[in-house]
């Protein structure tokens, strides 16, 4: 059973990770992907770490596909850790990523000594068709609070996932006002970490999370009265695990 589960998830992850960017390239020759490094800073050296990380990002990661953004993880089992994120990019950009002109030396001597542990490095590709993120475009971060829900796909239920997220996408796009929502696939297997898919809602501040955005009402308006219970049942069948994290944009460390 374990081997069957691993094989099924591996095939699913390979389909998401590689066919999605390839399909995007067939249409537009590009796609959106982010490198995401989760780490714990040395809390006994936060002042030095903060100054050095900011300087490094200002110098080597200020724009383009190599632009770096730092987030503080505020909730969940990873609370207290940080995310260093680069992009949006494509895998080919790794061939020309900063390395010369002092980048690697600066990272080695001035950043790494103040990082206690690197937990994981992941690549997340955006489902551009389902995501509703046009309002995020611009030089400034207008939505600094990220509400992230991770999903682990249940064995033999991957076929229902596309429809679940298609319905979620159509619901967010139908709601009044701006409702930024992004869907992201983990490009590489993470072993026991799971984390196959992530759906992200973007907020301007914490008080925005208190607002009732009537997702259920909008869903039933699109798919019919009493359709909500079926949607929830399909979610339970499709995913073996779901959990949330909230990330907060760290303007200072991002070098902005």
| Domains and their CATH numbers in the chain | 2-254 (3.30.70.100)
The pLDDT assigned to 28 comes to 54
Tokens at residue 180, please?
């930024």
Give phi and psi for 210, each to the nearest 5: -80, -15
Give phi and psi for 50, each to the nearest 5: -60, -45
pTM: 0.88
Tokens at residue 67, please?
């632009």
- Cβ(143)–Cβ(248) under 8 Å? no
The pLDDT assigned to 22 comes to 36
pLDDT digits (tens), the chain, 256 positions: 433 333 333 334 334 433 344 344 344 578 999 999 999 999 999 999 999 999 999 999 999 999 999 999 999 999 999 999 999 999 999 999 998 889 999 999 999 999 999 999 999 999 999 999 999 998 899 999 999 999 999 888 788 999 999 999 999 999 999 999 999 999 998 777 789 999 999 999 999 999 877 899 999 999 999 999 999 999 999 999 999 999 999 999 998 9
Q: How far is CA 107 from the centre of its chain?
A: 24
Q: Which residues are registered as beta bridge partners of 160?
A: none
Q: Collect all residues with Cβ–Cβ distance below 8 Å to 84 and sequence separation of at least 6.
A: 36, 37, 39, 68, 69, 70
The pLDDT assigned to 211 comes to 87
- Element (H or E) spanning 50, and its range? helix 46-60
What whole-number distance in Å separates Cα of residue 70 and Cα of residue 131? Answer: 22
- Cβ(90)–Cβ(65) under 8 Å? yes
Q: Collect all residues with Cβ–Cβ distance below 8 Å to 243 and sequence separation of at least 6.
A: 76, 149, 150
Give phi and psi for 248, each to the nearest 5: -120, 130
- Cα angle 60, 62, 66 (rounded to 5 degrees) comes to 70
Residue 172 half-sphere exposure toward CB, CA atoms < 13 A: 21
What whole-number distance in Å separates Cα of residue 178 and Cα of residue 117? Answer: 37
The pLDDT assigned to 186 comes to 96
Only one residue has tokens 């990272």, namely 107
The pLDDT assigned to 1 comes to 40
What whole-number distance in Å separates Cα of residue 154 and Cα of residue 6? Answer: 11
């Amino acid at each position: 059973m374990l081997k069957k589960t691993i094989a099924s998830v591996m095939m699913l992850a390979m389909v998401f990770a590689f066919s999605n960017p390839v399909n995007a390239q067939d249409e537009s020759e590009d796609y959106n992907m982010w490198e995401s490094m989760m780490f714990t800073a040395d809390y006994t050296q936060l002042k030095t770490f903060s100054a050095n990380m900011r300087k490094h990002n200002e110098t080597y990661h200020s724009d383009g596909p190599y632009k770096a953004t730092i987030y503080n993880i505020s909730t969940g089992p990873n609370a207290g850790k940080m995310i260093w994120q680069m992009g949006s990019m494509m895998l080919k950009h790794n061939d020309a990523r900063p390395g010369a002109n002092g980048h690697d030396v600066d990272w080695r001597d001035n950043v790494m000594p103040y990082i206690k542990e690197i937990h994981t490095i992941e690549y997340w590709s955006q489902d551009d068709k389902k995501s509703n993120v046009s309002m995020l475009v611009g030089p400034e971060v207008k939505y600094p609070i990220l509400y992230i829900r991770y999903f682990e796909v249940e064995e033999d239920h991957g076929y229902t996932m596309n429809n679940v997220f298609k319905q979620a996408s159509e619901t967010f796009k139908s709601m009044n006002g701006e409702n930024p929502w992004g869907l992201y696939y983990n490009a590489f297997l993470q072993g026991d970490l799971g984390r196959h898919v992530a759906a992200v809602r973007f907020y301007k501040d914490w008080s925005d999370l208190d607002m009732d955005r009537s997702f259920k009402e909008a869903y039933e308006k699109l798919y019919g009265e009493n359709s909500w219970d079926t949607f929830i049942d399909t979610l339970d069948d499709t995913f073996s695990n779901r959990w949330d994290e909230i990330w907060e944009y760290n303007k200072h460390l991002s070098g902005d």
